[in-house]
C-alpha cells in the first residue's frame, strides 16, 4: 500500500520545475578569467602546488557565477583582490588543499 502512495508523489516531484540556474558568463570572459587566474595562482602558490591552478580557477569561476551577476563580475575583473571574492577563494582553497 505504501508503494502505491509514494509512486504518484514521486512522479509529481519529477515534473515540478526546480530553481532556475544562473546563466553562464560569455565564454570569452570565462577564458580570460581562467588565463589570468591561473597565472596569478602559479606565481602565488606554495612550492609544488602551482599545477593546481586550473582546478582552483575553475572552482573560483563557478563560485563567482553562482553568486554574482555578470555586471558584478565585470566590475571585479580589474581588482582580483576585492574582498567580495574572499569567501569564494577560501572555499576553493579548502576544497583544493
pLDDT tens-place string over residues 23-33: 689 999 999 99
Q: Is the pLDDT of residue 78 over 60?
A: yes
Q: Is the pLDDT of residue 13 over 60?
A: no
- Spell out the domain ranges in the chain: 25-96
Name every residue whose Cβ is closer than 8 Å to that of residue 88 and which is 6 or more positions away in sequence: 60, 63, 64, 67
CA distance 63 to 33: 13
Q: What is the pLDDT of residues 22-77, one digit of tens each?
A: 468 999 999 999 999 999 999 988 888 888 999 999 999 999 999 999 999 998 87
Amino acid at each position: 500500500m505504501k508503494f502505491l502512495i509514494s509512486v504518484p508523489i514521486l512522479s509529481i516531484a519529477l515534473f515540478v520545475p526546480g530553481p532556475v540556474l544562473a546563466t553562464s558568463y560569455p565564454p570569452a570572459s570565462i577564458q580570460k578569467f581562467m588565463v589570468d587566474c591561473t597565472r596569478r595562482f602559479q606565481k602565488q602558490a606554495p612550492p609544488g602546488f602551482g599545477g593546481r591552478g586550473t582546478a582552483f580557477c575553475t572552482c573560483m569561476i563557478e563560485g563567482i557565477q553562482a553568486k554574482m551577476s555578470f555586471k558584478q563580475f565585470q566590475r571585479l575583473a580589474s581588482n582580483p583582490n576585492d574582498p567580495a571574492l574572499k569567501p569564494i577563494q577560501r572555499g576553493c582553497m579548502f576544497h583544493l588543499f
